[in-house]
């Protein structure tokens, strides 16, 4: 399973793994029900500290992205209904604001921003994202 | 047991000069713990005290919960050691060294030994004195792992090794930690090895531990920021920011390395109304140097 | 104890070639010489055993000297020789220092025992099969006493190797210690002869004491020769008391072994095994060396007993302080070259 990890990034490595897995799921490269590599397998494959991978898996499980079935392994979780749209929106709001701040400093106006979002969504869906 | 290694005020002097000076260290079990420091800081002396080669002058040390002062050798039953210059017996062949290891260690695993030996492409019949340094380190590592260790003590083992051997070495360590939950205590002044695999880093200088943090904590404590201004950059204000370690300016772009949490740094920067603030990547070496500078220690590298 | 088995295997594997060499070296006279006689078949039927007879009776100087040196060299090789490489490895394994030195003691002693056993058997069997000028009893008496003396020397060699730095210094120092009773007494007698009348009775008494302290003197079979210091003439003979002497030697051997354990357990293996004199040894060595030097020098210079004593005390202190200062300077120079 290929993840791009940059040990020099200011983002902690475990968070990069979490983000990487989330992206793969979002893009449809990892499908629900698909078996995830074990902590050991992934650690060896990426040459990372197994404790880091374990931490990442813990977080992924907390966020509901993956689930562990005893003695069968770890699998990508099925896509659950967004039961709590409110919570989801709250989480995303923060990220969106960050994007808006950047956009402001880069000099984009409201129309430019909207256009950017539309185009990105189109591209995303074209590539198979959901 | 949650601490694989613990020392309390451990001290050792040679000819009146302290090599290790009231050192306090705590290494959590199951971690990959990196110890960095310049030459002569006391890394090797510390490890040699933990393995029993050198006796401490004062203070206490514990490996796997047992005092290093105990005369009985059995505390080392599950401790593997790879020194920076693997010594062993020059007149013995590789196979004979393995044989000796199997007789000395109660948990020796011949299968693991063979597996690793073949993985490193070593040859059994060669005499130790005829091996290159890299091969000696590999033999020492095979032996350190075949004894099924709970603790691995590595003293600059990859110094001077070619990248292929070094990679194989690190892979093997990672496998061991993943499979066995072995604690790895790794002293090095090569930070690249540690950057990807260590979860804790401690620094030793003049026989004392200066800091000991998880890698994630360290990353939170040192930042390299690129700040772009529309007008004249407020040099003086930025230069007087607390925790500033490096300052570079080219035109309207200021690059700083600063210690502290981003939460406390950001507001001050936002006040100055910059056009853009971007966080840059930092390699472990720069983090380390910055942290040390902030603490008041500068190193010539 | 399973670890001891591993160590025993290691000691054997490491040193078997040296044991073989020692066997050849010990056995050169007693075994090889008779064989050459048999090959060349010259002289009387029992002429081949003449040399043996001499060895058994007096401990012929070549075999005796060679065996003494060989045993001390073996001890030095087995302990001092391992410093710096093997010993550092070994100490990081689950063996205690006590186990390390005990196995060396056992293996070395067994080797000496085996070599002597083999030689004795050879001599006994040869003596039974062919006409010989010695008897089986003589062989047994010689063999037991000699083996005990050699074991004692091996033990002493091991003890010295625990605190001296390298192979060569161990060998030299061990020889110095062995010869010490002889040196001390000869020196003292010489000095006193200058100022007082040393009666020949006193001298004899002193020499008796020396002969029991000087280990090589035990390697004789039917008599000890008491040599006078000035001319190489023996002034008396003493019959060896086998049970007593063998017991003394074996007890001394155990004492040296016990001391060796105590020192080895405390002895740090610092700086990759380079020069590990443990602190106090330097002081003791200095006190000692200055004592000897002062003894000789004051003896030369003084004209009466009182002035001798005065000179001796002053010189002893003076030379000791000079030696300590010298050692400090050497250490300081050494440190300024090599940063730890």
- Please state the rounded mean pLDDT for residues A18-23: 90
Residue A7 domain flag: no
Q: Which of the residue ranges A112-126, B57-71, B278-292, C77-91 has the most confident prediction, judged by mean pLDDT?
A: B57-71
Which residue, of B172, B206, B240, is where some domain finishes?
B206
Computed over every residue of chain C, the mean pLDDT equals: 79
For residues B249 and B176, membership in a common domain is answered with: no
pLDDT score, position C274 = 38
Note whether C96 contacts B71, CB cutoff 8 Å: yes
**What is the reported pLDDT for B11?**
92
Domain that holds residue A66: 13-76
CATH number at residue B226: 3.30.70.920
Count structural domains, chain B. 2
Assigned token pair, B113: 């030994």
Q: What is the CATH number of the domain that holds B10?
A: 3.40.50.300
Domain boundaries, chain C: 2-164+241-276, 279-334
On whether residue B213 sits in a domain, the answer given is: no
Closest CB to A50: pick one of B178, B280, B282. Answer: B178
State the pLDDT at residue B60: 92
Q: Residue C42 to residues A95, B222, B294, C35, C36: CA-CA distances in angstroms?
A: 110, 94, 93, 12, 10
Start-to-end Cα distance in chain C: 37
Q: Are B39 and B81 found together in one domain?
A: yes
CB contact under 8 A, B174 and A9: no
Facing residue for B103 by CB, picked from C5, C14, C265 = C5
Residues B111 and B237 in one domain: no
User: Considering only CA atoms, which of B51, B52, B58 is closest in space to residue B19?
Assistant: B58
User: Which H or E run contains B139?
Assistant: helix B133-146
Provide the domain count of chain A. Answer: 2
Residues B57, B160 within the same domain: yes
Q: Which residue has the tokens 């120079």?
A: C333
Q: What is the pLDDT of residue B133?
A: 85
Check whether residue B116 and residue B9 sit in a common domain: yes
| Nearest chain B CA: its distance from C124 CA (Å) | 38
Residues A36 and A89 in one domain: no
pLDDT at C239: 64
Residue B142 has pLDDT above 80, yes or no: yes
Q: Is B87 on the interface with C (CB under 8 A)?
A: yes
* pLDDT score of B130: 93
With an 8 Å Cβ cutoff, are B71 and C97 in contact? yes
Alpha helices (H) in chain C, listed in sequence order: 2-27, 33-40, 50-58, 61-79, 86-91, 97-129, 136-163, 167-195, 200-213, 242-266, 280-301, 305-337
Asked whether the predicted pLDDT for residue C203 surpasses 80, the reply is no
Whether residue B160 is found in the same domain as residue B263:
no
What is the tens place of the pLDDT at every residue in B229-238?
A: 888 888 888 8
A67 lies in the same domain as A95: no
Query: What tokens were used for B195?
Result: 């950057």
Taking the Cβ of residue C197 and every Cβ of chain B, the question of whether any pair is shorter than 8 Å is answered with no
Beta bridge partners of C226: C236
Q: Which residue of B has its CA nearest to C85?
A: B87
- CB contact B71 to C (< 8 Å): yes
Q: Which domain CATH number covers A61?
A: 1.10.10.10
Same domain? For B82 and B115 the reply is: yes
Answer yes or no: are the C-beta atoms of C208 and C241 closer than 8 Å. Answer: no
User: What are the tens digits of pLDDT across the range C109-159?
Assistant: 999 999 999 989 988 888 888 777 788 888 888 888 889 999 999 999 999
Output DSSP code: residue B255: E
Tell whether C270 lies on the interface with B, counting CB pairs under 8 A: yes
Domain check: are A39 and A69 in the same one?
yes
Q: Same structural domain for residues B232 and B189?
A: no
**Is pLDDT above 90 for B113?**
yes
Q: Touching B: which chains, 3+ CB pairs < 8 A?
A: A, C
Disruptive mutation site among B34, B169, B174, B179 for chain A (greatest number of A CBs within 10 Å): B174
What is residue B240's predicted lDDT score, i.e. its pLDDT?
86
CA A56 vs. chain centroid, Å, equals: 11
In a domain, B181, yes or no: yes
Distances (CA, A) of B177 to A43, B106, B143, B174, C108: 10, 20, 16, 5, 42
pLDDT at residue C337 in the model: 47
Same domain, yes or no, for A59 and A90?
A: no
B87 with B179, same domain: the answer is yes
B230 and B196 in a common domain = no
State the residue range of the domain holding B238. 220-295
Within 10 angstroms of residue C136's Cβ, the number of other Cβ atoms is: 14
Touch criterion met for A and C (3+ Cβ pairs within 8 Å): no
Tell me the per-residue pLDDT of B168-190, one tens digit each, with 9 for 90 and over: 888 888 888 888 889 999 988 77
Identify whether residues B245 and B276 lie together within a single domain.
yes
Q: Two tokens at C178? A: 């062995």
Say whether residue B279 is in contact with chain A using an 8 A CB cutoff: yes
Q: What is the pTM of this model?
A: 0.79
Question: Quick one: C81 exposed, middle or buried, by C-beta within 10 A (0-12, 13-18, 19+)?
Answer: buried
A108-122, B98-112, C73-87, C237-251 — which is least confidently predicted? C237-251
Judgement on whether residues A50 and A20 belong to the same structural domain of the protein: yes
């Amino acid at each position: 399973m290929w993840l791009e990890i940059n040990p020099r990034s200011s983002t902690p490595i475990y968070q990069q793994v979490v983000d990487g897995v989330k992206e793969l799921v979002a893009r449809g490269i990892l499908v629900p029900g698909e078996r995830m590599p074990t902590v050991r397998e992934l650690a060896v494959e990426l040459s990372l500290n197994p404790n880091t991978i374990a931490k990442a898996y813990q977080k992924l499980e907390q966020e509901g992205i993956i689930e562990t079935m005893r003695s069968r392994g770890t699998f990508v979780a099925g896509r659950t209904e967004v039961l709590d749209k409110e919570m989801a929106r709250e989480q995303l709001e923060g990220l969106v604001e960050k994007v808006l701040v950047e956009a402001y400093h880069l000099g984009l106006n409201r129309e430019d921003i909207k256009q950017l979002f539309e185009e990105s969504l189109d591209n995303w869906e074209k590539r198979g994202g959901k | 047991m949650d601490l694989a290694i613990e020392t309390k005020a451990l001290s050792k002097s040679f000819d009146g000069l302290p090599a290790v000076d009231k050192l306090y260290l705590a290494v959590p079990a199951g971690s990959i713990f990196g110890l960095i420091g310049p030459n002569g800081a006391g890394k090797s002396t510390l490890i040699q005290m933990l393995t029993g080669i050198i006796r401490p002058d004062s203070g206490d040390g514990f490996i796997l919960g047992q005092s290093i002062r105990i005369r009985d050798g059995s505390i080392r039953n599950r401790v593997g050691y790879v020194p920076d210059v693997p010594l062993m017996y020059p007149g013995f062949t590789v196979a004979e060294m393995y044989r000796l290891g199997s007789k000395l260690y109660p948990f020796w695993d011949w299968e693991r030994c063979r597996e690793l030996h073949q993985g490193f492409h070593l040859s059994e019949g060669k005499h130790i004195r005829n091996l290159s340094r890299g091969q000696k380190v590999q033999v020492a590592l095979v032996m350190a792992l075949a004894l099924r260790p709970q603790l691995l003590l590595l003293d600059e083992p990859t110094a001077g090794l070619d990248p292929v051997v070094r990679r194989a070495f690190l892979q093997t360590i990672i496998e061991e930690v993943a499979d066995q939950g072995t604690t790895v205590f790794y002293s090095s002044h090569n930070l690249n090895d540690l950057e990807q695999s260590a979860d804790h880093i401690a620094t030793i200088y003049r026989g004392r531990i200066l800091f000991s943090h998880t890698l994630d904590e360290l990353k939170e404590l040192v930042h390299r920021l690129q700040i772009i201004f529309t007008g004249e950059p407020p040099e003086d204000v930025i230069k007087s920011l607390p925790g500033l370690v490096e300052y570079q300016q080219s035109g309207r772009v200021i690059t700083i390395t600063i210690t502290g949490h981003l939460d406390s740094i950001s507001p001050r920067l936002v006040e100055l109304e910059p056009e853009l603030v971007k966080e840059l990547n930092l390699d472990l070496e720069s983090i380390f140097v910055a942290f040390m500078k902030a603490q008041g220690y500068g190193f010539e590298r | 104890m399973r670890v001891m088995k591993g160590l025993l295997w290691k000691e054997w594997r490491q040193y078997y070639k040296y044991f073989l060499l020692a066997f050849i070296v010990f056995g050169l006279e007693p075994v090889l010489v008779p064989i050459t006689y048999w090959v060349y078949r010259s002289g009387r039927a029992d002429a081949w055993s003449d040399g043996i007879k001499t060895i058994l009776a007096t401990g012929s100087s070549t075999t005796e000297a060679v065996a003494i040196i060989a045993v001390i060299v073996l001890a030095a090789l087995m302990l001092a020789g391992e410093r710096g490489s093997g010993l550092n490895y070994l100490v990081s394994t689950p063996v205690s220092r006590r186990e390390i030195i005990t196995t060396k003691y056992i293996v070395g002693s067994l080797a000496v025992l085996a070599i002597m056993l083999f030689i004795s058997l050879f001599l006994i069997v040869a003596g039974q099969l062919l006409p010989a000028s010695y008897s089986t009893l003589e062989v047994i008496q010689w063999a037991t006493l000699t083996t005990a003396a050699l074991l004692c020397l091996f033990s002493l060699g091991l003890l010295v190797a625990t605190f001296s730095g390298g192979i060569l210094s161990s060998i030299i120092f061990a020889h110095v210690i062995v010869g010490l009773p002889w040196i001390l007494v000869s020196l003292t007698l010489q000095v006193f002869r200058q100022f007082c009348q040393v009666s020949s009775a006193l001298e004899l008494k002193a020499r008796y004491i020396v002969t029991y302290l000087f280990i090589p003197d035990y390697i004789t079979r039917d008599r000890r020769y008491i040599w006078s210091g000035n001319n190489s003439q023996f002034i008396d003979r003493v019959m060896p008391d086998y049970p007593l002497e063998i017991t003394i030697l074996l007890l001394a051997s155990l004492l040296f072994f016990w001391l060796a354990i105590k020192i080895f357990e405390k002895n740090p293996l610092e700086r990759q095994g380079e020069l590990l004199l443990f602190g106090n040894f330097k002081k003791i060595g200095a006190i000692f060396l200055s004592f000897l030097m002062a003894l000789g020098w004051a003896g030369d210079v003084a004209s009466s007993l009182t002035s001798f004593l005065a000179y001796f005390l002053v010189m002893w202190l003076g030379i000791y302080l000079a030696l300590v200062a010298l050692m400090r300077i050497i250490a300081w120079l050494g440190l300024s070259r090599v940063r730890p």
